[in-house]
Amino acid sequence: MALDTLPCNVVCNTAIDVFVRANRLEKALRFMERMQVIGIVPDVVTYNCLIRGYCDLRRVEEAVELLEELDAALSLLDDMYLINKHADVFTYTTLVDALGKKGRIEEATELMKKMLHKGIDPTPVTYRTVIHRYCQMGKVDDLVAILEKMLLRQKCRTVYNQVIEKLCGLGKLEEADKILGKVLRTASTSDAKTCYVLMEGYLKKGVPLSAYKVACRMFNRDLIPDVKMCEKLSKRLVREGKLEEADQLMLLLVERGRILPLPSKQSVVS
């Protein structure tokens, strides 16, 4: 029986997807109702298409209040449970993204918790979506809390690198600095690149001393900063009158064998 109905579901889902992409959501909903009348049971793909349609209405009908579409999508999700149709990671990721756009972070958090509780593993797309929306709203503490739960289900080694780089891109350097320790635990090449993003952010903001502190934390973890980056930072420190920090930065590079020490005055005279 299942084999007989499979092609019907595929055809019907394709039709619904076409309606949704054409912004004809009401037509798609009526089509699903017709499916049920003739005995074709909607599956998770069917519901995913419709949920995406609700969430995408904000882009094609800006006059329509997004809140109504999201509530309808969430109601649709509840209907899935009532008829034993379980949402997948795509369903949750779509809704979390839509809730985040509206600033409904608390509801997005609860939805993520529900997803994890049901044993659904987050994908890289889920991680990127959550990071983008939470960082955009400045909810870094909430983000870290939900990421810790997500990481218990599905590891993502660069997750905090992504968070820091996203925060830097949004100009939220202080928030990025607060979680730098989570990145420096592993001290890998990708971690160094993340540190450079933060250092560059501080330099653009005109606070080279903060960039210097990031460099020092890298040295403490035996993660040697790029020489050109350090030279650039050293010049900015000198310009700001931070001569001691500028000298210390170059000395650290000498100690690590990355640059040669400057000749002493005595050797120059001789």
The CATH number linked to 214 is 1.25.40
- The residue range of the domain holding 241 is 180-262
Q: What is the DSSP letter of 16?
A: H
Predicted local confidence at residue 64, as pLDDT = 34
Q: What is the DSSP letter of 88?
A: -
Distances (CA, A) of 17 to 14, 97, 253, 256: 5, 19, 58, 59
Over residues 131-142, the mean pLDDT reads 93
Predicted local confidence at residue 270, as pLDDT = 40
Which tens digit of pLDDT belongs to each residue from 22-63?
888 889 889 988 888 888 877 778 888 888 887 877 643 432
Q: Per the domain annotation, does 100 fall within a domain?
A: no
Predicted local confidence at residue 74, as pLDDT = 66
Predicted local confidence at residue 8, as pLDDT = 80
| Beta-sheet strands, E only, within 116-161 | none
Q: Per the domain annotation, does 110 fall within a domain?
A: no
Two tokens at 166? 């996203």
Q: Per the domain annotation, does 206 fall within a domain?
A: yes
Number of domains in the chain: 1
pLDDT at 264 over 80: no
Long-range contacts of 181-187 (CB under 8 A, 24+ apart): 184/217, 184/218, 184/221, 184/223, 186/157, 187/221, 187/222, 187/223
Predicted local confidence at residue 54, as pLDDT = 76
Q: Per the domain annotation, does 189 fall within a domain?
A: yes
Q: What is the mean pLDDT of the chain?
A: 85
Which amino acid, 96?
Answer: V
Q: Per the domain annotation, does 234 fall within a domain?
A: yes
Q: Per the domain annotation, does 226 fall within a domain?
A: yes
Higher per-residue pLDDT: 5 or 209: 209
Which tens digit of pLDDT belongs to each residue from 56-110?
776 434 323 334 545 566 677 777 766 666 778 988 898 889 888 888 899 899 9
Over residues 136-149, the mean pLDDT reads 93
Q: Per the domain annotation, does 56 fall within a domain?
A: no
Residue 158: what are its φ and ψ, rounded to 5°?
-100, 15
Q: Per the domain annotation, does 222 fall within a domain?
A: yes
